[in-house]
Amino acid sequence: MRHPQIVIFESDGLLAKLLAPTVAERRWLLRESRQVPACLNLLREGGPSLLVLKLGRNLIRELALLDRARTLLPDVPVIVVGDTVDAGLLAVVYELGALYVLLPPEPRTSLIALATQALTATIERFVGMAPQGDRASEANA
């Protein structure tokens, strides 16, 4: 099995800094992308993945990424992080397939637990789908 990864699509690197200690502790990969095609390519590499998508800079591009990621990679959960509460946008984001939307007043630090739970569940699904020989080698690792 490939290393689990969290792919972050944001413009300022703040979410990556927030998640970096947890990712390092668990020996997962943390990858940042600012371009839609590159982000999708990172997610297509296989293995358990989580997309963390920050809304706000270019909403049309960000929602298009969410839509394409969920269409092309339905097994990759997506956590969306926003800066403002907008009921209409919230409905659209969930309709497009977000697993969770983190908005104020919920603290950004909640992302650590959310991402950990989402990626851990994805890893468990991958292990459950692995051929019998792969599961034996993972158990011995």
- pLDDT per residue rounded down to tens, the chain (141 residues): 589 999 999 999 999 999 999 999 999 999 999 999 999 999 999 899 999 999 988 999 999 999 999 999 999 999 999 999 889 999 999 999 999 999 999 999 999 999 999 999 999 998 887 665 554 444 444
Predicted pLDDT at 141:
41
Residue 110, helix vs strand vs coil: helix
CB 52 within 8 A of CB 28: no
Measured from the Cβ of residue 74, the count of other Cβ atoms closer than 10 Å reads 9
Q: Where are the domains of the chain?
A: 5-140
Cα 42 off chain centre by: 11
Q: Which CATH topology does 5-140 take?
A: Rossmann fold (3.40.50)
